[in-house]
Amino acid sequence: MNDNWGDRARFGIFVVGNEAVPEAEWWAMAPAGVSIHAARVTARAPWARWDSERRDVILESDLERGAAQFAAMRVSAAVVAHFSSSIIGGAGWDEAIISRLSQTLGRATHITTNAIDCVRALHECKAKRPFLVLPPWFDQAFAERAVAYMNDRGFEVSGHLIHAPDEKWLGVAPGDLYGKFMHLEQRVDTLSRQIVEACPPAADAVFIAGTGFRCVAILDSLERALNRPVVASNQASLWNCLRQAGCQPSISGYGQLLRGD
């Protein structure tokens, strides 16, 4: 019987400590022969702090411990699966944390960040004007920073949507949703309807950002409804890790990016 052994590749993902979505979505999409392993990080964003001269970053202890464990596991690739850290870290942060992690993980492991993976995935889909979709625990100020981050990387974000959760959560501030466990009660049907209704005509792709944002179950149906490619955070990181490990992505059910269209 299948035991999920990673005889083709082993991937390590650094994930938010109290999230259930990243591992669930990676395992749902992963092809046979690929195993997924998580290191949980409880630190606030960004997960690596700039030094006083902004020349290097200092890893949070959870990240250091996870990197040492991944090194001992000889993972094929490791992902800093936290889009928010890249936004808050700013220019050069992704490259700086990759450089620091490489000191522990070594050259044999491909190291990346979710933000880098998403940018590469959007380019793979030839997207120039993506519609940015963000989870409900992001506020408007953070949404504007995310839009600026994407525009600084060569895109012209055509609009953005902060997903509105069910009526149960009305009146709860974005920053309080995690504390009240909304992240464990996400509904993809509500999300799908909001994306279809809000996607602007100028958008040439949809980008659903956030590794804790449950969405991969609706990627195919969204692409059919909108006739546009849809990129999601966990999907993009799995795609990039497969490429770096020499595993040609050819996975049905989770968008054209993983099908290899």
Are 238 and 35 in contact, with CB atoms under 8 Å apart? Answer: no
User: What per-residue confidence (pLDDT) applies to 147?
Assistant: 98
Strand bridging mode 48-50 / 57-59: antiparallel
pLDDT at 81 over 80: yes
CA distance 155 to 174: 26
Q: Which stretches of the chain are DSSP H helices?
A: 21-29, 61-73, 83-89, 93-105, 114-124, 140-152, 188-198, 219-226, 233-244, 256-259
Instruction: Say if domain 9-114+235-256 classifies as CATH 3.40.1190.20.
Output: no
Task: From 191, 187, 195, 128, select the one nearest 160 (Cα to Cα).
Answer: 195
pLDDT band at 250 (very low <50, low <70, confident <90, very high): confident
| Average pLDDT of span 139-154 | 97
CA distance 36 to 156: 33
CA distance 73 to 101: 15
Angle of the 219-226 helix axis to the 188-198 helix axis, nearest 10: 20
DSSP tally for the chain: helices H, then strands E: 10, 10
For residue range 152-210, what is the model confidence (pLDDT) as tens digits? 999 999 999 999 999 999 999 999 999 999 999 999 999 999 999 999 999 999 999 99
CA distance 49 to 46: 6
> Are domains 9-114+235-256 and 117-232 of this chain identical in fold?
yes
What are 132's strand-pairing partners? 160, 207
| Average pLDDT of span 139-152 | 97
User: What per-residue confidence (pLDDT) applies to 194?
Assistant: 98
| Average pLDDT of span 204-228 | 98
CA distance 33 to 43: 32
Any idea which fold 117-232 has?
A: Rossmann fold (3.40.50)
Task: Delimit the domains of the chain by residue range.
Answer: 9-114+235-256, 117-232
Q: Is the pTM of this model over 0.95?
A: yes
SS3 178: coil
Are 39 and 14 in contact, with CB atoms under 8 Å apart? Answer: yes
